[in-house]
């Protein structure tokens, strides 16, 4: 992609993300939530910005489509078309189509057809609503000479405030010419806390060479006296009521919802081209380049530290070793600061993925005739940019399955004593050096016994193996397993959840299911914050050294020899009155030789939620920051291995995939061996 196109795509995606966020707010207003004119203005500005951006880069197709959408939004904000669920649906499809146009242009693919949606937009624009013969402003007795000074948008907002039963007050104030901008700003900010600023106009009140007067039109629920008290700090401010305050009319007006409008500027005429953002957009490739340099510095730091330790052990080295060690400490401190700084630049909020999922949830639920509400929390939780992007597809599979398999149809939910509207909650939160991402639905839940029986029927599990409820639920990740009897576009082929698990494992993460029949299901993903540079525990087994990501380690313990027992052909040891499965790392990888013997066994305890697993090793060899490098095609599917890492001194070790090892042991898969 050309450099200019990259910049276009990046900025266009930002605009579309923001536009989609506002569309969800608009969807709520179409469902009866309080109308906020600034939301419509924001969407209008988004379409307008995208049109300008497309024109700047010569993308005429997108420019033309955005222009038509902008016209529709302008009609909505001016009350020429009515706000409805059908209109919001069309706007969502328009946003999705603009995203497809951007993606197709970036990939140099054929552009999608826009004719169908443009025809629908045309039909909406031509179906203008009935207009009242006498406007609310005329009914309130407001002088037509005054309303003639307003723009069409301002007059529409004036009428909407009157129609919904709000007061419309005029605040007149005289300001010193030298400070009028600050004083007028204070007046507007005070009034905005209780209503909508419909317009600000130069007043007909007498002005002098040193003074200037303004009229500020405010739509609000509070009385004239209450507004006068609110703006009392503005010297000489006078409040008069133009109309309103009557009981709210029953009939809705076109293009606007009911309720108190938000405190916003009346128009976007004061918009500025100056960006208020304090950020710089950087291509991820440049950050990768910096991170590779930092990774090399981390390896060199470890190597220098080893040399320093050797020098300190040499008595003859004396002062030279001390000076060298001091230099290494300063170097380490600066490398750590650089590492933290570069890694922080790669962190992005997970909210961007949640917003894309919200669009998927909305579209999928509509296509299946289900009513689903979306709740989000923890959207500011940060993860490495690459992890966030790689999460999109697995999370999309999960939410689609939740709607298709989990959430019931409205009639079924009511029959089960549930509200007709289902709920999917997307949540993220940090936990130590990990991030937990949860997707929860309040649907019918997963029948663990039915999943187990299906796996037995397909010959995917050993019929003699006794499984816990959690282990039965974990079978949904087996390739080819689906309990759905009919194949649809969304599910039924048994493809998807195994891919989800593999993709999460590829991010050094693990996934767990918690489900209660009739109550719903929660998928919990445990992920590292970054994969660029991680702290690892180095362990040795049968002469081989491995790196264990420290975020996977719960604790390290010494188990007295002879305290390991066997239950149902599984080796276990007691840890605080709890039996924990135990494997020998050398046996898992089928290394030759015998494990080291002594009075104690060294065991690293890893786990997820309530699951625990002990991994016996010969030696704990310390901690070190490592950079995980992918394995080649021949080894990338090697079980239990996430990648490789260089330790310095031309030493390379394998990094363990704890999620895969944990899964293998719990399901009796590859490499399970009695310790």
The SS3 of residue 601 is: strand
- Please give the structure tokens belonging to residue 486: 């009919």
Tell me phi and psi for residue 580, to 5 degrees. -115, 125
- pLDDT band (50, 70, 90) for residue 604: very high
Per-residue pLDDT at 181: 78
pLDDT tens digits, one per residue of 321-357: 888 888 888 888 888 888 888 888 888 889 888 888 8
Q: Which residues contact 71 (CB under 8 A, 6 or more apart)?
A: 121, 125
Among residues 544, 515, 568, the alpha carbon closest in space to that of 617 is found at 544
CA angle 643, 353, 120 (to 5 degrees): 140
**How confident is the model at residue 488, as a pLDDT?**
53
Alpha carbon 62 to chain centroid distance? Answer: 26
**Residue 340 class from Cβ within 10 Å (0-12 exposed, 13-18 middle, 19+ buried)?**
exposed
Alpha carbon of 34 to those of 85, 240, 260, 375: distances in Å?
Answer: 15, 26, 7, 18
Find residue 424's DSSP bridge partners. 374, 441
Contact 556, 604 (CB under 8 A): yes
Chain centroid to CA 666: how far?
31
Residue 434's nearest CA partner among 314, 537, 552, 330 is: 552
Supply the pLDDT for residue 7. 72
pLDDT in tens, 90-144: 898 899 889 889 888 888 888 888 888 888 888 877 776 666 668 888 888 888 8
Provide the 3-class DSSP secondary structure of residue 11: helix
| 434-473 residue pLDDT tens | 899 999 999 999 998 988 888 888 887 778 777 888 888 8
The residues with which 131 forms a beta bridge, in sequence order, are none
Residue 158, token pair as written in the block? 């004036």
Q: What letter does residue 141 receive in the DSSP assignment?
A: T
Q: Which helix (H) or strand (E) holds 267?
A: none
Q: Output the CA–CA distances (angstroms, integers) from residue 669 to 88, 476, 553, 665, 666, in the order listed.
A: 49, 15, 21, 6, 8
**C-beta separation of 437 from 391 below 8 A:** yes
Question: CA-CA distances (angstroms) from residue 285 to 15, 288, 349, 507?
Answer: 22, 5, 19, 19
Q: In what order do the strands lie in the sheet with 372-377?
A: 372-377, 422-431, 434-441, 520-528, 510-516
36-45, 129-138, 260-269, 558-567: which has the highest mean pLDDT?
36-45
Q: CA 641, CA 552: separation in Å to the nearest integer?
A: 14
Token reading at 510: 């693990």
Angle at the Cα of 292 from the Cα atoms of 283 and 103, rounded to 5 degrees: 25
pLDDT at 442: 94
pLDDT digits (tens, 9 = 90+) for 253-285: 444 443 333 333 333 343 343 444 456 667 777
Give the pLDDT band of residue 414 (cuts 50, 70, 90). Answer: very high
Radius of gyration of the chain (CA): 32
Question: What is the residue-averaged pLDDT of the chain?
Answer: 81
Report how far residue 513's alpha carbon sits from residue 292's, in angstroms, rounded to the nearest whole number: 36
CB 576 within 8 A of CB 592: no
DSSP string, 138-192: HHTT--HHHHTTS-HHHHHHHHHHHHTT-EEEEEEEEEETTTHHHHHHHHHHHHH
Range picked from 164-168, 564-568, 646-650 for highest mean pLDDT: 164-168
Strands (E), 268-370: 347-349
Q: Between 663 and 119, where is the model more confident?
A: 119
Q: At a CB cut-off of 8 Å and minimum separation 6, what does 459 contact?
A: none
496 vs 504: CA distance, rounded Å: 12
As a whole number, mean pLDDT of residues 141-163 equals 85
**pLDDT value at 292 more than 90:** no
From residue 469, alpha-carbon distances to 140, 220, 474 in Å are 69, 57, 9
DSSP bridge partners of 431? 434
CB 609 within 8 A of CB 264: no
Q: Which two tokens stand for residue 625?
A: 């920051």
Residue located via tokens 């065991």? 603
Spatial contact of 256 and 38, defined as CB atoms under 8 Å apart:
no
Location of structure tokens 């910005």:
49
User: Residue 376 pLDDT > 80, yes or no?
Assistant: yes
Assign 671 a pLDDT band (cuts: 50, 70, 90). Answer: very low
């Amino acid at each position: 992609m050309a450099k200019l196109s990259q910049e276009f795509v990046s900025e266009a995606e930002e605009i579309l993300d923001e536009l989609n966020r506002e569309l969800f707010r608009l969807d709520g207003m179409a469902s009866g939530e309080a109308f906020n004119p600034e939301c419509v203005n924001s969407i209008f500005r988004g379409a307008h910005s995208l049109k300008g951006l497309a024109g700047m880069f010569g993308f005429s197709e997108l420019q033309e489509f955005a222009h038509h959408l902008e016209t529709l939004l302008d009609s909505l904000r001016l009350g020429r078309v009515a706000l409805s669920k059908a209109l919001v649906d069309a706007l969502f499809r328009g946003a999705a189509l603009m995203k497809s146009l951007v993606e197709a242009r970036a990939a140099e693919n054929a552009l999608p057809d826009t004719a169908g949606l443009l025809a629908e937009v045309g039909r909406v624009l031509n179906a203008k609503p009935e207009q009242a013969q006498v406007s609310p402003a005329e009914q309130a007795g407001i002088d037509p000479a005054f309303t003639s000074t307003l723009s069409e948008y301002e007059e529409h907002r004036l009428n909407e405030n009157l129609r919904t039963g709000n007061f419309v007050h005029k605040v007149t104030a005289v300001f010193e010419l030298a400070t009028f901008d600050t004083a007028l700003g204070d007046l507007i900010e005070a009034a905005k806390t209780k209503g909508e600023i419909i317009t600000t106009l130069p007043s007909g009140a007498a002005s002098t060479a040193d003074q200037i007067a303004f009229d500020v039109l405010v739509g609000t629920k509070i009385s004239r006296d209450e507004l006068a008290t609110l703006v009392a700090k503005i010297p000489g401010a006078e409040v008069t009521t133009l109309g309103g305050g009557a009981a709210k009319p029953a009939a809705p007006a076109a293009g606007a919802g009911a309720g108190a409008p938000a405190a916003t500027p009346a128009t976007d005429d004061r918009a500025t081209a100056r960006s208020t953002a304090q950020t710089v957009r950087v291509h991820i490739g440049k950050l990768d380049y910096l991170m590779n340099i930092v990774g090399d510095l981390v390896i060199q730091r470890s190597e220098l530290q080893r040399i320093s330790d050797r020098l300190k052990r040499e008595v003859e080295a004396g002062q030279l070793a001390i000076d060298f060690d001091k230099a290494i400490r300063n170097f380490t401190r600066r490398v750590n600061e650089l590492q933290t700084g570069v890694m922080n630049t790669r962190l992005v909020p997970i909210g961007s993925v949640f917003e894309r999922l919200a669009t998927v949830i909305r579209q999928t639920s509509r296509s299946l005739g289900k009513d689903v509400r979306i709740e989000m929390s923890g959207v500011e939780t940060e993860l490495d940019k690459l992890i966030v992007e790689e999460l999109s597809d697995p999370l999309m599979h999960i939410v689609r399955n939740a709607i298709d398999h989990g959430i019931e149809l409205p009639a079924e939910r009511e029959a089960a004593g549930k509200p007709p509207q289902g709920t999917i909650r997307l949540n993220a939160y940090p936990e130590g050096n990990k991030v937990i991402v949860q997707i929860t639905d309040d649907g019918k839940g997963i029948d663990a016994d039915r999943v187990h029986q299906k796996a037995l029927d397909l010959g995917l599990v050993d019929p003699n193996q006794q499984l816990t409820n959690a282990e039965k639920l974990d079978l949904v990740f087996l390739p080819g397993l689906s309990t759905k009897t009919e194949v649809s576009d969304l599910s039924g082929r048994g493809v998807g959840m195994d891919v989800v698990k593999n993709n999460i494992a590829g991010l050094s993460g693990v996934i767990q299911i918690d489900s209660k029949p009739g109550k719903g299901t929660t998928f919990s993903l445990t992920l590292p914050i970054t994969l660029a540079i991680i702290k690892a525990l180095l362990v040795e087994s049968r002469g081989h050294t491995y790196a264990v990501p420290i975020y996977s380690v719960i604790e390290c313990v010494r188990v007295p020899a002879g305290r390991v027992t066997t239950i149902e052909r599984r080796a276990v040891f007691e840890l605080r009155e709890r039996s924990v499965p135990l494997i020998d790392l050398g046996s898992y990888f089928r290394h030759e030789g015998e494990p080291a013997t002594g009075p104690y066994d060294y065991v690293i305890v890893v786990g997820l939620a309530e699951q625990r697993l002990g991994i016996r090793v010969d030696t704990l060899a310390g901690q070190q920051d490592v950079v995980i490098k992918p394995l080649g095609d021949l080894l990338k599917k090697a079980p239990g291995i996430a990648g490789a890492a260089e330790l310095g001194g031309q030493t390379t070790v394998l990094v363990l995939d704890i999620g895969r090892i944990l899964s293998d042991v719990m399901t009796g898969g590859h490499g399970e061996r009695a310790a």
